[in-house]
Amino acid sequence: PILNIHDTLKAEKWPVYRILGIKGNIIEGATEPIINKELSLKMYSMLVRIQVLDEIFYNAQRQGRISFYMQSSGEEATHIGTAAALSYSDMVLAQYREVGLLLWRGFSLQDVADQCFSNIADLGKGRQMPIHYGSRELNYQTISSPLATQMPQAVGVAYAMKLSNSQSVAICFFGEGAASEGDFHAAMNFASTLEAPVIFFCRNNGYAISTPAVEQYRGDGIVSRASGYGMHCIRVDGNDILAVYTATEQARKIALERNCPVLIEAMTYRRGHHSTSDDSTKYRSLAEINFWRDHFDPVSRFRNYLESKGWWDSSKEQSLRETEKLTVIQAMQIAEKKPKPQLDSMFEDVYKVKPPNLIKQEQELLKHIAKFPDHYNKSNH
């Protein structure tokens, strides 16, 4: 045998699956998915809803009306492309930039606003930071801030689905930065060895907060890791909604039919700041951001596709955006006026019966508020 230590950096790069060109045309050799006009227009309206929601709530945070916000600018197609391809019975374990899946499943703009304002109508009872959504009814597990914790949990969900023969899958979203966490390895290995029907959807958007992808890993992205786990995989253009839809649809089919995990790496770009706590111009240029906006915007790309089919025009565009803007503003104004949850609700829903240490903490809080009433506004609770 010949001794040959392989230099994997010289290996052929993984291809990117793509259907739409950057101007919204079907590229040569690509197979256009069968998506009717009604579904296509719903997909586009949801892309616009995400954009309008992000703009208004980002500005609301800057005005001090909410404490925190995260935009999805540039990554909208990863939300709606996957949402349209999944069954409502599939469990979503998101990271924090996937609100479009919730909106697709029926989470209203009022639900979004109530959560971000942490008011009495918030399903999480005001205990979570803004954008940490969750809905048992819509099979969307509540967001957790620590990176990658949802990944091994998704495997457990998928394994339970397999044992119960539910004919559903779990889908787990994460960024390329989260793939550097130990939970990534644990989840991938468990998923493969347990043969769990789970889709791992990596949004490779170029930055893990301020860390660029070139400093995050040395190999060929995230999809190249799948072979080490014996896992099905595909790399897709995350700014091409038709490619994301088709890849997710096929990944779900494989996961169910073969009882196995599938890894999707969606190559996209985070145009906005990581969050309202970040200023991305400190580590990347405006020219770079504008380049991606002008050439690879997923929303305008899909709009061009719809216009080429005669399904969309500028008057419909203006009407849709005006309607969405008014609806988002109205939801925000209503949410802002709702009272906050009762203070004692802070200590509920952890234990069936409150243990002594929790009772002690509650009493200490109430005593503290009573001692310094000028510092705490109880009238809004």
For the chain, what is the mean pLDDT? 96
pLDDT digits (tens, 9 = 90+) for 217-246: 999 999 999 999 999 999 999 999 999 999
Q: What integer is the mean pLDDT of 134-152?
A: 97
Q: What integer is the mean pLDDT of 104-118?
A: 98
Q: Residue 26 forms beta bridges with which residues? A: 20
pLDDT digits (tens, 9 = 90+) for 214-224: 999 999 999 99
pLDDT digits (tens, 9 = 90+) for 77-102: 999 999 999 999 999 999 999 999 99
pLDDT score at 205: 97
Contacts of 101 (CB under 8 A, 6+ apart): 79, 82, 83, 86, 92, 94, 140
Q: Nearest Cα to 121, choosing from 368, 342, 284, 379?
A: 342
pLDDT at 381 over 90: no
Hey, what are 198's tokens? 């789970």
pLDDT digits (tens, 9 = 90+) for 22-47: 999 999 999 999 999 999 999 999 99
pLDDT at 379 over 90: no
pLDDT score at 1: 80
pLDDT band at 176 (very low <50, low <70, confident <90, very high): very high
| Three state DSSP letters for the chain | CCCCCCCHHHCCCCCCECCECCCCCECCCCCCCCCCHHHHHHHHHHHHHHHHHHHHHHHHHHCCCCCCCCCCCCCHHHHHHHHHHCCCCCEEECCCCCHHHHHHHCCCHHHHHHHHCCCCCCCCCCCCCCCCCCECCCCEECCCCCCCCHHHHHHHHHHHHHHHCCCCCEEEEEECCHHHCHHHHHHHHHHHHHCCCEEEEEEECCEECCEEHHHHCCCCCCHHHHHHHCCEEEEEECCCHHHHHHHHHHHHHHHHHHCCCEEEEEECCCCCCCCCCCCHHHCCCHHHHHHHHHHHCHHHHHHHHHHHCCCCCHHHHHHHHHHHHHHHHHHHHHHHHCCCCCHHHHHCCCCCCCCHHHHHHHHHHHHHHHHCHHHCCCCCC
Torsion over CA of 193, 255, 133 and 320, rounded to 10 degrees?
Answer: 160
pLDDT digits (tens, 9 = 90+) for 183-220: 999 999 999 999 999 999 999 999 999 999 999 999 99
pLDDT band at 377 (very low <50, low <70, confident <90, very high): confident
pLDDT band at 350 (very low <50, low <70, confident <90, very high): confident
Hey, what are 272's tokens? 């906005």
Q: What integer is the mean pLDDT of 118-142?
A: 96
Distance from the Cα of residue 205 to its chain's centroid:
12
pLDDT score at 198: 98
pLDDT score at 286: 96
pLDDT at 281 over 90: yes
Q: What integer is the mean pLDDT of 144-148?
A: 94
pTM for this model (two decimals):
0.96
Hey, what are 16's tokens? 């990117």
Encoded amino acid at 253, one letter: K
Q: Centre a 10 Å sphere on the Cβ of residue 195 and count the other Cβ atoms it contains.
A: 15
